[in-house]
Amino acid sequence: FFSSSRMMRRVVSSISASAFRTYAVSAGSALPSATLHEGTPAGKVDIADVCKGKKVVIFGVPGAFTPGCSKTHLPGYIADADKFKAKGVDEIVCVSCNDAFVMAEWGVAQGASGKVRMLADPDASFAKALGTDIDLTAVLGSVRTKRFSMIVDNGVVKALNVEPDNTGLSCSLAPPLLDSL
Ligand code: BEZ
């Protein structure tokens, strides 16, 4: 009995550590302020200002030009941009812990202009403020963000969907977020 209940506690605590991890923000939190870069490092944008008085979808990706982000995540939001706008979303923002030049060129390569704003979080300060930061040094060379989607209404987080395995392509994609609106 003791050994099986100890085993059960271990299983439950390992499930809690991954699937039920809580983040620094959740539904009802104010979106934290963080300085992001748009176009060049001189194009400083406070994400909290972007979300003032607007309904904004923000999605975070582990890396510009990586296969999952380029083939599925970003193209999905570009393809559904008009449907999000029809459901009252004023702006869609893609954030990645890359530099502003890389993010801008990724947006050009994907035809994001007018549909998805490409904001860089080079020092991962926004990811750290959300608690979605993850050390991907071994794979991508630096701290990045877990893959997530978020709805922010006038600066208040309405939903945060972080991939349970950190970088997978499921709950943070455009179709489930669109369906939730
Ligand atoms: C991707 O393909 O999206 C990816 C690749 C390596 C690390 C994280 C994500």
> Which amino acid, residue 50?
V
**DSSP class per residue in 84-132:** HHHTT--EEEEEESS-HHHHHHHHHHHT-TTT-EEEE-TT-HHHHHHT-
pTM of the model: 0.90
- What CA–CA distances, in Å, run from 52 to 18, 31, 100, 132, 149? 32, 10, 22, 22, 18
Q: For residue 21, what pLDDT is reported?
A: 72
143-179 pLDDT, tens digit each: 999 999 999 999 999 999 999 999 999 999 999 999 9
Centre of ligand 1 to C-alpha 162, Å, is 15
Task: Give me the residues paired with residue 116 across strands.
Answer: none
> Which amino acid, residue 112?
A
Centre of ligand 1 to C-alpha 74, Å, is 13
| Segment 9-38 mean pLDDT | 74
Q: Scan for tokens 């200002």, then name that residue.
A: 49
Among 131, 120, 115, 97, residue whose Cα is nearest residue 26: 131
* Phi, psi angle pair for 134, to nearest 5°: -150, 135
* Residue pair 25/130 in contact by the 8 Å Cβ criterion: yes
Catalytic residues: 69
pLDDT above 90: residue 66: yes
**Which residue ranges form the domains of the chain, and what is each CATH number?**
29-180 (3.40.30.10)
69-111 pLDDT, tens digit each: 999 999 999 999 999 999 999 999 999 999 999 999 999 999 9
Q: Scan for tokens 């600066």, then name that residue.
A: 155
Centre of ligand 1 to C-alpha 169, Å, is 10
Instruction: For residue 16, name the pLDDT band (cuts at 50, 70, 90).
Output: very low
| Segment 7-28 mean pLDDT | 61
Q: For ligand 1, atom 5, which residue shows the shortest CA distance?
A: 66
